[in-house]
């Protein structure tokens, strides 16, 4: 029997389509009003404490809460982050941390990324793993790959304007959301990303 997802907490807007896509793979849907977007790291962890307390109090193994955030700093291991901010976590609160950021999970499916963003597959496979490992901010890896896109609309929307201070273009979230919803395959991506593989294993065990 599939367990009911009571509430979902995510750190940023891009995690919303990602968690929806992951949950849909287990036949689980979630209403917009049951998703909370923290929009800031500090806010996420404050709300995560409340989610954890709510998960402890329901006393109902048929219902669970889900949380998804970025690790960002590789020095912050996932168990350490959870222990620091929450302490003992409820078994009814599935809190997963993407290493380093959600973009690492999204780029794991190289075939779909190449096809959607019109970037040569050999470029994605050759450049993305090492670049992601070395990058301070994984968004820059995505942007640099998309600079090689043959689709002008995507290329101009995803990359920052010349001389601009931003890491990404104005349509970055739009195009990444489209990619997630239309092309990204979490199972395929998990074959190239250990933290996503562990997350899917947790969801499989807890939801099905």
Q: Which domains does the chain have, with CATH numbers?
A: 4-102+192-207 (3.40.50), 110-183 (no CATH)
**Per-residue 3-state assignment (H helix, E strand, C coil) for the chain:** CCCEEEEEEECCCCHHHHHHHHHHCCCCCCCHHHEEECCCHHHHHHHHHHHHHHHHHHCCCCEEEEEEEECCCCCCCHHHHHHHHCCCCCCCEEEEEECCCHHHHHHCCHHHHHHHHCCCHHHHHHHHHHHHHHCCCHHHHHHHHHCCCCCHHHHHHHCCCCCCCCCCCCCHHHHHHHHHHHCCCHHHHHCCCHHHHHHHHHHHHHHC
Q: What pLDDT score was predicted for residue 61?
A: 67
Confidence tier at 207 by pLDDT (50, 70, 90): confident
Please tell me which residue, 163 or 143, carries the higher pLDDT value.
143
Confidence tier at 71 by pLDDT (50, 70, 90): confident
Phi then psi dihedrals of residue 96, to 5 deg:
-120, 140
Q: What pLDDT score was predicted for residue 77?
A: 56
Could you give the strand order of the β-sheet that contains 63-70, starting from the edge strand earlier in sequence? 35-37, 4-10, 63-70, 93-98
Q: What is the pLDDT of residues 34-51, one digit of tens each?
A: 999 998 988 999 999 999
Q: What is the pLDDT of residues 81-111, one digit of tens each?
A: 777 778 888 989 999 988 778 999 999 999 9
Round to whole Å and give the CA distance between 177 and 182: 8
Percent pLDDT > 90 in the chain is 62
Q: What pLDDT score was predicted for residue 166?
A: 87
Confidence tier at 58 by pLDDT (50, 70, 90): confident
Q: What pLDDT score was predicted for residue 165?
A: 79
């Amino acid at each position: 029997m599939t367990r009911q997802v009571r509430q979902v907490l995510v750190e940023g807007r891009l995690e919303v389509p990602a968690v929806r896509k992951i949950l849909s793979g287990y036949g689980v849907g979630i209403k917009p009003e049951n998703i909370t977007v923290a929009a800031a790291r500090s806010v996420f962890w404050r709300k995560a404490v409340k989610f954890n307390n709510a998960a402890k109090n329901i006393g109902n193994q048929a219902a669970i809460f889900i949380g998804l955030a970025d690790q960002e700093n590789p020095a912050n291991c996932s168990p350490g982050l959870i222990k620091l901010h929450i302490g003992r976590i409820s078994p009814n609160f599935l809190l997963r941390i993407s290493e380093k950021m959600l973009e690492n999970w999204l780029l794991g499916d190289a075939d779909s990324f190449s096809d959607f963003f019109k970037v040569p597959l050999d470029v994605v496979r050759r450049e993305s793993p090492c670049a992601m490992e070395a990058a301070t901010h994984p968004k820059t890896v995505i942007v640099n790959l998309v600079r090689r896109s043959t689709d002008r609309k995507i290329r101009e929307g995803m990359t920052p304007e010349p001389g601009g201070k931003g890491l990404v273009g104005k349509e970055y979230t739009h195009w990444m959301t489209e990619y997630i919803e239309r092309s990204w395959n979490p199972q395929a991506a998990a074959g190239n990303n250990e933290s996503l593989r562990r997350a899917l294993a947790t969801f499989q065990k807890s939801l099905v």
